[in-house]
């Protein structure tokens, strides 16, 4: 069976192995595939593996041999699901492989905002401590998390793991999701909200852990930002499209909210004129919350198992039933 990996570099820049996938068929691996080469590279393939390379309805029409698309991620908005369903093509994703890594990144951002570790370290290396008249100096306010309220929008596996970490810091947790959710074991100071507006009003930190859908697109916008505390901090490790970026930049620049910690943007890589790149009190990492070696290893293993199960006629993690 002909298997083509369209954009394998971000999953495996060289520290993992494709050998288990290669054992399942005739495998060709491309580090990246530009849009204009997708049809050419997938022409004879029965199986396509993609991370962010889009598989549109037009592409599907021009790949008559295609039987299966494996997405190397949890989100699968790069695939035209209706077109695959009509063509009888199976589409699978990789659920829950990065839960611990993403929750860890959420708190990496929160702790950086609260303690400014890197900025204080840079100040020390610039000689500020040497010249200090006191035994210490502080360039930024330091914030203790105990007693603060973390609002989580989207309470799936990542949201629940984030709540567990927050609880260990002594934080209060409030959450909202499509349906009422119970907190994981050990999380006691928890409250569920039916709507996210009430959550925004109460939270000191707001973490976006929901999928990007028509309902959640730009859920953070000028109106919703106006509900937040002036000291509140927004964390987005979900999808860039959850946020209206011009509205967030304006809110940051005028001090309407305290700060933003982002791992995702609406266009990636961002355009030079993205207003968040120059916004005040905004920390941005380049979509790496998922990318620890441990998480990528899990992703690779599940991706291989997905292909194996499809070949055996018993597919798993199917998203277009």
Residues classed as catalytic: 239, 268, 287
**What is the spatial distance between Cα 64 and Cα 87, in angstroms, rounded to a whole number?**
9
DSSP string for 137-171: --SS-----TT-EEEEE--SHHHHHHHHHHHHTT-
**H-helix or E-strand spanning residue 248:** helix 245-253
Question: 3-class DSSP state for residue 128?
Answer: coil
Write the DSSP string, 65-113: T--EEEESSS--TTB-HHHHHHHT-EEE--TTTTHHHHHHHHHHHHHHH
Q: In what order do the strands lie in the sheet with 26-29?
A: 26-29, 2-5, 47-50, 68-71, 90-92
Do 71 and 93 meet the contact criterion of CB atoms below 8 Å apart?
yes
Burial of 97 (0-12, 13-18, 19+ CB in 10 A): buried
Q: Are strands 233-236 and 205-208 parallel, antiparallel or unpaired?
A: parallel
Buried (b) or exposed (e) across 211-240, using 16+ Cβ within 10 A? bbeeebebbbbeebbebbbeebbbbbbbbb
């Amino acid at each position: 069976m002909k298997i083509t990996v369209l954009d394998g570099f971000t999953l495996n820049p060289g520290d993992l192995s494709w050998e288990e996938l290669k054992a399942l068929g005739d495998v060709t691996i491309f580090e990246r595939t530009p849009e204009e080469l997708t049809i050419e590279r997938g022409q004879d393939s029965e199986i396509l593996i993609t991370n962010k390379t889009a598989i549109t309805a037009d592409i599907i029409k021009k790949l008559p041999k295609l039987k299966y698309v494996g997405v190397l991620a949890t989100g699968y908005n790069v695939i035209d699901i209706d077109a695959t369903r009509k063509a009888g093509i199976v589409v699978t994703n990789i659920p829950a492989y990065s839960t611990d890594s993403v929750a860890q990144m959420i708190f990496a951002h929160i702790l950086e905002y609260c303690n400014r570790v890197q900025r204080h370290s840079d100040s020390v290396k610039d000689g500020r401590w040497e010249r200090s008249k006191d035994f210490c100096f502080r360039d930024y306010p330091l914030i203790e998390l105990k007693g603060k309220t973390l609002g989580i929008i989207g309470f799936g596996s990542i949201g629940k793991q984030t709540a567990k970490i927050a609880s260990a810091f002594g934080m209060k947790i409030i959450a909202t999701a499509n349906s009422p959710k119970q907190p994981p074991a050990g999380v006691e100071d928890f409250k569920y909200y039916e709507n996210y507006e009430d959550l925004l009003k109460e939270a000191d930190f707001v973490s976006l852990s929901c999928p990007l859908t028509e309902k959640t697109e730009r859920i953070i916008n000028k109106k919703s930002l106006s509900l937040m505390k002036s000291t509140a901090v927004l964390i987005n490790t979900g999808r860039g499209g959850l946020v209206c970026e011009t509205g967030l930049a304006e809110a940051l620049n005028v001090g309407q909210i305290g700060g933003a910690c982002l791992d995702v943007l609406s266009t990636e890589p961002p355009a030079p004129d993205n207003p968040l790149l120059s916004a005040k009190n905004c920390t941005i990492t380049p979509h790496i919350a998922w990318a620890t070696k441990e998480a990528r290893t899990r992703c690779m293993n599940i991706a291989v198992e997905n292909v194996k199960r499809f070949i055996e006629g018993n597919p798993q993690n199917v998203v277009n039933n």
